[in-house]
Structure 1
Amino acid sequence: MTKVLFILSAVVMLVATFFAYQNGRSFAQIRDSVTATNVKVQSELNAANAIVAQVTKTANDADAVKQEVDIENEKIKSQKLKIAQADNDAKRAQEELDDRNKKLAELKVKLDKLPKGVKPETLVEDINNIKKTIAESQAETEAKKKEVESEEGKVADARKGLDDLVRKIEDRKKSFDRNSLMAQVVAVNPDWGFVIVNAGQSKGITEATKLLVVRGTQTVGKLSIVSVQGERTIANILPDTLGSGMQIAPGDRVILENLYQ
């Protein structure tokens, strides 16, 4: 009888040990699963915070570009005023030059009308004065010519500076417009996993363009372009890029992925 009880006790202990071992393995698996889930949640949270930071930085960059454009516009206004002033100075210098040339021509006509061989002292003195006046007028004419040439050079330099500013602003505007694409998802086919976007070639989208779908400050997912038309783009949804528990829906915004790079 004692042997039987001993054998039964041994069996009970073996069974208890087996179940304890099984329960320990299940607990370890659950603990590892919870740890992995926490790590994944933290990773998604860090990614979301990074996207928010990138969106904020992009908005700040856009404001900075706008401020630069405003500054450049003010510079253009200043350059236009300088050009107008230089044009007026050149015009005034030319008018003075023409007036002195006219006086010089009148003096030459008077000299030509003097009788030949007549040289009274008073007349000689008058002639000398006229010659002196002619010499002074010629010197002033040359000076005015140089002033006109200088003003024309200033006008050319100012116009060149204005052209450079206009070209710079146009380049900045094109870059800003290209990087500020805003479109929307107008239709979603969940069965086939594709969407239709209301922007296409007219907005500069090509098959190589990388697109993001956002909702508020959150990124919903990424798109892979299938075809691009004038005002419409068809793109596949990349399932691996969808946020946890999120699906792309009509009305979601579509922007360039390179805004965040």
Structure 2
Amino acid sequence: MLRTNAANAAAIRAAAEHRRATEGRNLEVRETTTGEGEAKIAEAENKAAKAEAELTQLQKEKGDLQSKVDANRDEIASLQKRIEEAEKTAKPAASPADASTPELQAQLDDARHQLDSAEKEKSFLSEKLQATQQRSAQPQEEKKRREAGARKPGVRGNVLAVNQAYNFVVLNLGARQGVEPNSEMLVLREGTLIGKIRISSVEPATAIGDIITSSLARGVQVQPGDIVVYAGTNS
């Protein structure tokens, strides 16, 4: 009898130890998942902030260059007018001893030299402005994609894991499938819309999305295995 009780007690202790060990491992997994999710979200927000700052700087440079190009264009027009007037005035004088002719010719040569310099500066500024426009085009397109969200019919996947504590999910879709940060996706279960998520971080083959809690019906939670599709493509 004593041996039986001792054996039962040992079994209970072993089961308790196993349960504590299992819970400890699960806690570590949850903490790791949460930490990775928060890190990815922070990384995505940091990238977005840097892109916004770069776009603002490029737009400022573009505005400054455009102002210089406009001023340069006005200067060229003014110089061309001066040259035309100087050429009319510098025609051969009636008297060879006219002392004003060399002076007018010098003014004409100087104006032509300034015009040549202005034309070169115009070419340089135009090239620089074009390069700035090309550089600013990419951040602008990226911003449009983030604001509008991607709308890619046929792109769909599944929820791999859910962190209810921090309201985010891990998807089996990533950049290779066209998933982009800040785009919204619909969550379906058995063909029925149950909520929405907003993509916060994208890897080549996976993505993390924040659950939009206001889109969920009362008592409904996103679960592993739920289907996700881009908003507007719930077929």
Q: Which amino acid aligns with 1:65?
A: A
CA distance in 2: counterparts of 1:161 and 1:109, whole angstroms: 46
Displacement of 1:72: 2.3
The structure number with the bigger radius of gyration is: 1
Indicate the percent of aligned positions where both proteins have the same amino acid: 7
The residue number in structure 2 matching 1:252 is 221
Is 2:123 the counterpart of 1:149? yes
Helix, strand or coil at the partner of 1:210: strand
CA distance in 2: counterparts of 1:145 and 1:32, whole angstroms: 93
Deviations 1:53-110 (A, max 9, x none): 3213312331332233223212222221111111111111110111000111112223
Q: In 2, are the aligned partners of 1:214 and 1:253 still within 8 Å (CA)?
A: no
The residue number in structure 2 matching 1:212 is 161
Q: Give the root-mean-square deviation of aligned CA atoms.
A: 3.8
CA distance in 2: counterparts of 1:52 and 1:250, whole angstroms: 25
Q: Which structure carries more helix by proportion? A: 1
Is 2:23 the counterpart of 1:47? no
Displacement of 1:52: 2.5
Displacement of 1:30: 5.5
CA distance in 1: counterparts of 2:224 and 2:73, whole angstroms: 57
Is 2:135 the counterpart of 1:161? yes
Q: Which amino acid aligns with 1:59?
A: E
Shift in alpha-carbon separation, 1:204–1:35, aligned structure 2, 3 A: farther
Is 2:96 the counterpart of 1:120? yes
Deviations 1:184-204 (A, max 9, x none): xxxxxxxxxxxxxxxxx9998
CA distance in 2: counterparts of 1:106 and 1:141, whole angstroms: 14
- Consecutive unaligned residues of structure 1, counting only runs of 5 or more, are 1-19, 179-200, 220-224, 234-248
Q: In 2, are the aligned partners of 1:90 and 1:152 still within 8 Å (CA)?
A: yes
Shift in alpha-carbon separation, 1:63–1:93, aligned structure 2, 3 A: same
CA distance in 2: counterparts of 1:228 and 1:204, whole angstroms: 15
Q: In 2, are the aligned partners of 1:83 and 1:158 still within 8 Å (CA)?
A: yes
Shift in alpha-carbon separation, 1:255–1:93, aligned structure 2, 3 A: farther
Q: In 2, are the aligned partners of 1:52 and 1:218 still within 8 Å (CA)?
A: no
Q: In 1, are the aligned partners of 2:159 and 2:223 still within 8 Å (CA)?
A: no
Picking from 66, 71, 96, the partner of 2:50 is 71
The residue number in structure 2 matching 1:110 is 89
- Consecutive unaligned residues of structure 2, counting only runs of 5 or more, are 169-187, 196-217, 227-235
CA distance in 1: counterparts of 2:127 and 2:61, whole angstroms: 13
CA distance in 2: counterparts of 1:253 and 1:30, whole angstroms: 41
Is 2:118 the counterpart of 1:139? no
Q: In 2, are the aligned partners of 1:90 and 1:151 still within 8 Å (CA)?
A: yes
CA distance in 2: counterparts of 1:127 and 1:255, whole angstroms: 92
TM-score (norm. length: structure 1): 0.56
CA distance in 2: counterparts of 1:95 and 1:72, whole angstroms: 35
Deviations 1:143-187 (A, max 9, x none): 00111111112211221221233345567x49xx79xxxxxxxxx
Q: In 2, are the aligned partners of 1:97 and 1:141 still within 8 Å (CA)?
A: yes
Shift in alpha-carbon separation, 1:73–1:127, aligned structure 2, 3 A: same
